[in-house]
């Protein structure tokens, strides 16, 4: 479901709501204990988050595979 310009749930950023759904349906990996994961969230230019508001766009969320913090060679490029 793509949100429109309104928040999906009052008081929450759209990216949080979408993130939670993606974790729940397995479309992004859940890091296990002791693991870390990096993610990128790309907001639309008009998103209210850029004006101290709640995210109300349909952000692109890209999450990498969880990595073991002891294996720094697996860190993604910035």
CB atoms within 10 A of CB 8: 19
Query: Site for Zn ion (CB under 5 A): which residue of 8, 18, 55, 63?
Result: 55
Residue 50 or residue 74: which is nearer to Zn ion going by CB? 50
State which H helix or E strand residue 60 sits in. Answer: strand 60-63
Query: Site for Zn ion (CB under 5 A): which residue of 59, 68, 74, 76?
Result: 59
Could you tell me the CA-to-CA distances from 59 to 19, 28, 33, 45, 62 in Å, in that order? 10, 14, 27, 10, 10
Residue 28 or residue 55: which is nearer to Zn ion going by CB? 55
Interface residues with Zn ion (CB under 5 A) are: 43, 47, 49, 55, 57, 59
């Amino acid at each position: 479901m793509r949100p429109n310009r309104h928040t999906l749930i009052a008081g929450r950023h759209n990216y949080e709501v979408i993130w939670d759904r993606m974790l729940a349906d397995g479309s992004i990996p859940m890091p296990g204990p002791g693991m870390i994961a990096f993610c990128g969230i790309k907001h639309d230019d008009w998103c209210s988050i850029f004006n101290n508001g709640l995210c109300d766009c349909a952000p692109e969320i890209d999450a990498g595979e969880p990595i073991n913090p002891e294996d720094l060679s697996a860190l993604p490029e910035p």
